[in-house]
Amino acid sequence: MKTKIGYFSIADAWTPAKCLQLSIAAEKIGFDSLWVEDHLVAMPGGTECNFAWTVMSSALQATKKIPFYTGVTAPIMRYHPVIVAQAFATMGAMYPGRVGLGVGTGEPPNEMAVYGGEWPSNITRLEMLEEALTVINRLWESDVPINFAGKYYTLNNAILLTKPEKKIPVYVSAIGPRAADLAGRLGDNLITLANHPNYVRDELIPALEAGARSAGKDSKNMERVGHFSYVYDPNQEFRPEDLQQDAGTIQGGAVSRAFASGVVSIFNTAEDFIRKIEEYKRMGYNHLALADVTLLQGKPNRFVTQGFDSLDIWKDVLPHVR
């Protein structure tokens, strides 16, 4: 399987118009996919926080062939799974084969802003995600109204009349084996921040494969998406200790095993990009989703503030990493 390289439109750093411009430019440069984070509250350092689905649909209209995915949507609290199912079915109907849904268990700043009570445990949120995916898949597949009485969600004669011609691929975010198993059972692909080679090889991917087998699916056809962020710093203004390495609010027993290094890297040259991508390919990833978080680091960077297009470096990277 060819290694795909995807580009994140950082809706926490750029205005919606800039996200759109970068998406168009990324397709022209040769990226294989576009991604956007789905936040209500910006990550630390963020000065914007666009609505992901609006950015996504606008970019799909403005580009020609490149697919666009959320990285990721939490269809469990801030969004009801029925709303997610309808929104992505409509986008999929408008842009056949170009829409993907990334899903995960969410982060407190985004979900608790509209949700009362205590932040649910990892296990509870995984249960909610499993039930949400069950609801979404049933709505996408059913031609008649459906009822559903679950532990977390209820449907009464719910139906989606507008559906896509092609199935919308679901990318399930996973750090731990339990979430990876869910990705294999109810998702189509895996997306993860995990970067410890032994952990990815010995725990995460086997869990994905086991989940797929239990659902009668062939995991060989599933994408394993490695997601990491970077600061492009050709002027060498950043030091590793300057970086904000907080990977959101990742919690759980697998965290200590999943990471061999921080989730943000500093790249000074095209060779730095290439080495990192090759490292991820050796871990078993066949699709990479990469985010330029330079503007989120809280440190002035002349390369960015002078208006240079940091996408240009990819012209020297993409031909060497496929």
pLDDT, mean of residues 39-44? 93
Q: Which helix (H) or strand (E) holds 157?
A: strand 154-158
pLDDT, mean of residues 262-272? 95
User: Peptide bond preceding 41: is omega within 30 degrees of 0, i.e. cis?
Assistant: no
Q: How confident is the model at residue 246 (pLDDT cuts 50, 70, 90)?
A: low
Q: How many whole angstroms separate alpha carbon 296 and alpha carbon 109?
A: 17
Q: Is the pLDDT of residue 15 over 90?
A: yes
**Could you report the per-residue pLDDT of 66-113, keeping only the tens digit for each?**
999 999 999 999 999 999 999 999 999 999 999 999 999 999 999 999
- Let me know if 111 is a catalytic residue: no
User: What are the tokens at 111?
Assistant: 């979900």
The active-site residue, picked from 27, 37, 39, 127, is 39
Q: Measure the CA dihedral 183/187/188/189, to 10°.
A: -40
Residue 243: per-residue pLDDT: 85
Coarse DSSP helix, strand, coil percentages of the chain, rounded to the nearest 5 percent: 40, 15, 40
The active-site residue, picked from 27, 37, 107, 127, is 107
Residue 241: per-residue pLDDT: 81
Residue 92: per-residue pLDDT: 98
Q: How many whole angstroms separate alpha carbon 7 and alpha carbon 23?
A: 8
- Sign of the Cα pseudo-torsion (103, 108, 111, 117, in order): positive
Contacts (Cβ under 8 Å, ≥6 apart) of 298? 44, 45, 244
Q: How confident is the model at residue 310 (pLDDT cuts 50, 70, 90)?
A: confident
Residue 44: per-residue pLDDT: 87
User: What are the tokens at 58?
Assistant: 């606008």
Q: How confident is the model at residue 239 (pLDDT cuts 50, 70, 90)?
A: confident
Q: Return the percentage of the chain with pLDDT > 70, whole number.
A: 93
Domain 4-320: give its CATH superfamily.
Luciferase-like domain (3.20.20.30)
Q: How many whole angstroms separate alpha carbon 73 and alpha carbon 36?
A: 9
pLDDT, mean of residues 43-70? 96
- Let me know if 271 is a catalytic residue: no
Q: Is the pLDDT of residue 143 over 90?
A: yes
Q: How confident is the model at residue 177 (pLDDT cuts 50, 70, 90)?
A: very high
